[in-house]
């Protein structure tokens, strides 16, 4: 059996945090001490001890990473992810436990690590390469490749203190990537790069894996982790919480985050309490993870201690580029006659046409006067859309750009110069008896024949659920 690339055994990292002890004397005694013996009082203050508190950034962490594995490290801020990578990179030593590393390591943990502010990009390539263990001959041999990959040739002889954070990352990753290590460790630094460069970096890490090298990738971009990694390790409060197949671990992580951030708020003047807002899928299960074409159900539980006549509720779904779509009673007119006592209002967004990205749901509740706010426009829930776009017929060369693209895709149709047409939709294509999709964005139709996108029925039976497809909606009237 091959020796693992990395073996981690009961690793722990402790930091000692100092807190000023609370004094036992009151203000009167403190002033009296200063007046009577100022020198003695100053001496006592300078000698006052700090209370020492131990903080374990990591505790009892054990797992192995095999050669050629690409492992995504996920978790909330402060979970211990970066601490682990610093230990693996020998930047800091563990307090307890041990690590066995079989191979040459290159790390990209922080923007500009190993760079000298006063040196030019050219000089820092040699400096950073030497820090990472490359010989001068090796750096010279790969210099042109590094510059080409970094895309900063125009600024190569400019001091890096004048570089933007994105230029820093380009150069730093280019040097680390061309070290050709057996093990590549990458922290969240790629988040500051543009979409095109992120795609190039992810592609480089993918080629690393295909060549049998090991990659550890820390990111809050779950779709990037999903696309790059086969395995994921979830850290929580300094401990290894879950280790397994990437889809399973990410889904559990999303569900956990959703449970921890259940929204509630109250307006005493109107006697209205929003007890919780939950998201549900087509099966009625609470979820924070959806696929393109799924129904998104927003369920609002309330307790109205005072009667509220004809309130106006509006919901907005927003992505990284702003507003996506809305449901708005002010426009569609489907208002409840009253809110009184305990109840629920549910809105179902049918067949959400969203690309795989992260989204938030915002809500506002207005009185019948429209101008009076009962619940101000604010974030009430979050969710992620995940999925392989190739399953929906997408076959472009730059599918990773979907992470930053305009997220809403209404069904559309191309008519090409040769007369062929192609329908594009994020509605899941039906499968025929042969197991093949009947339509998709790779569907080619004979010249002169138009392919119509699948009909999406926007209606939903039952009072508050109604959402007609021909209603005009706009987020401008929400806030």
Pairing, β 296-309 against β 338-349: antiparallel
Q: pLDDT digits over 318-336, tens only?
A: 987 788 999 999 999 999 9
Partnered with residue 54 across adjacent β-strands are 16
Closest CA to 175 of 199, 209, 155, 149: 149
pLDDT of residue 455: 34
What is d(CA 109, CA 107) in angstroms, rounded to the nearest whole number? Answer: 6
pLDDT by residue for the chain (479 residues), tens only, comes to 578 889 999 999 998 876 555 455 555 566 666 566 666 666 665 555 556 688 899 999 999 999 888 899 998 888 898 899 889 888 889 999 999 998 888 777 765 566 888 899 899 888 888 877 778 898 899 899 889 888 888 898 999 888 887 788 788 888 877 777 788 888 765 655 566 677 777 777 777 777 778 888 888 777 778 778 889 999 998 999 999 998 888 878 877 766 666 788 899 999 999 999 999 998 898 888 899 999 999 999 999 999 999 999 999 999 877 889 999 999 999 999 999 999 999 999 999 999 988 888 999 999 998 888 999 888 898 888 888 888 888 887 777 777 778 899 999 999 999 989 988 888 765 544 444 444 444 443 333 333 333 333 333 333 333 233 333 333 334 44
Longest Cα–Cα distance of the chain, Å, equals 101
What is d(CA 47, CA 44) in angstroms, rounded to the nearest whole number? Answer: 5
Helix H or strand E encompassing 70:
strand 70-74
pLDDT of residue 212: 79
Closest CA to 220 of 234, 209, 210, 231: 234
- Rg, C-alpha atoms of the chain: 28
Q: Is the pTM of this model over 0.75?
A: no
For 56-257, CATH number out of 3.40.140.10, 2.40.30.60, 3.40.50.300, 1.10.150.130 equals 3.40.50.300
CA 463 to chain centre: 36
What is d(CA 154, CA 150) in angstroms, rounded to the nearest whole number? Answer: 11
Q: pLDDT digits over 151-209, tens only?
A: 888 898 999 888 887 788 788 888 877 777 788 888 765 655 566 677 777 777 777 77
pLDDT of residue 445: 34
Residue the block writes with tokens 């943990």: 109
Top-level CATH class of 263-386+459-477?
A: mainly beta
CA 452 to chain centre: 35
Pairing, β 312-319 against β 421-424: unpaired
Helix count (H) and strand count (E) of the chain? Answer: 10, 20
And the tokens for 283?
Answer: 């099966």
Exposure string over 231-270, b if 16+ CB within 10 A, otherwise e: bbbbbbebbbbbeeebeebbbbbbebebeeeebeeebeeb
pLDDT of residue 303: 95
pLDDT of residue 448: 34
And the tokens for 410?
Answer: 């209404």
pLDDT of residue 301: 94
What are the sequence ranges of the domains in the chain? Answer: 56-257, 263-386+459-477
What is d(CA 47, CA 108) in angstroms, rounded to the nearest whole number? Answer: 42
Partnered with residue 268 across adjacent β-strands are none
Closest CA to 427 of 447, 406, 411, 415: 411
DSSP annotation string for 288-312: SEE-TT--EEEEEEEEEEEEEES-E
pLDDT of residue 49: 53
pLDDT of residue 194: 62
- Residue 11 near residue 63, CB atoms below 8 Å: no
Supply angle C-alpha 44, 49, 53, rounded to 5: 165
């Amino acid at each position: 059996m091959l020796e693992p690339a990395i073996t981690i055994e009961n690793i722990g990292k402790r930091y000692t945090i100092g807190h000023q002890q609370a004094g036992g004397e009151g203000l009167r005694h403190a002033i009296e001490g200063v007046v009577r013996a100022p020198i003695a009082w100053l001496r006592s203050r300078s000698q006052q001890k700090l209370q020492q508190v131990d903080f374990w950034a990591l505790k009892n962490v054990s797992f192995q990473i095999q050669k050629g594995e690409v492992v995504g490290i996920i978790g909330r801020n402060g979970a211990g992810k970066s601490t682990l990578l610093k230990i693996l990179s020998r930047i800091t030593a563990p307090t307890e436990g041990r690590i066995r590393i079989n191979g040459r390591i290159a790390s990209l943990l922080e923007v500009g690590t190993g760079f000298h502010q006063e040196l030019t990009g050219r000089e820092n390539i040699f400096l950073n390469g030497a820090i990472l263990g490359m010989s001068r001959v090796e750096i010279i041999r790969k210099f042109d490749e590094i510059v080409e990959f970094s895309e900063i040739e125009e600024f190569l002889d400019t001091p890096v203190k004048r570089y933007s954070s994105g230029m820093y990352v380009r150069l730093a990753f280019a040097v680390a990537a061309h070290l050709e290590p057996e093990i590549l460790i990458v922290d969240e630094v790629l988040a500051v790069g543009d979409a095109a460069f992120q795609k190039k970096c992810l592609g480089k890490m993918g080629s690393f894996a295909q060549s049998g090298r090991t990659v550890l990738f820390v990111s809050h971009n779950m779709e990037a982790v999903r696309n790059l990694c086969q395995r994921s390790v979830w850290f929580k409060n300094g401990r290894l919480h879950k280790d397994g197949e990437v889809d399973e671990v990410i889904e559990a992580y999303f569900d956990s985050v959703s449970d921890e951030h259940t929204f509630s708020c109250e307006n005493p003047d109107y006697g209205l309490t929003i007890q919780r807002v939950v998201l549900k899928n087509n099966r009625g299960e609470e979820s924070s993870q959806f696929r393109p074409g799924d129904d998104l159900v927003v369920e609002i539980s309330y307790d109205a201690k005072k009667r509220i006549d004809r309130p106006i509720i509006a919901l907005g779904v927003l992505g990284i580029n702003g507003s996506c779509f809305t449901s708005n009673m002010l426009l569609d007119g489907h208002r409840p006659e009253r809110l009184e006592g305990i109840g629920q209002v549910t809105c179902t967004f049918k067949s959400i046409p969203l690309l795989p990205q992260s989204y938030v749901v915002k809500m506002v509740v207005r009185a019948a006067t429209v101008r009076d706010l009962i619940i101000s426009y604010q974030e009430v829930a979050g969710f992620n859309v995940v999925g392989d776009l190739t399953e929906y017929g997408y076959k472009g060369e730059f599918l990773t750009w979907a992470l930053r693209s305009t997220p809403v895709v209404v069904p559309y149709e191309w008519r090409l110069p040769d007369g062929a047409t192609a329908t594009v939709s994020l509605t899941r294509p039906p499968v025929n008896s042969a197991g093949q999709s009947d339509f998709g964005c790779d569907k080619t139709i004979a010249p002169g024949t138009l392919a119509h996108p699948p009909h999406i029925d926007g209606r939903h039976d039952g009072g508050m659920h109604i959402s007609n497809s021909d209603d005009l909606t706009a987020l401008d009237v929400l806030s």
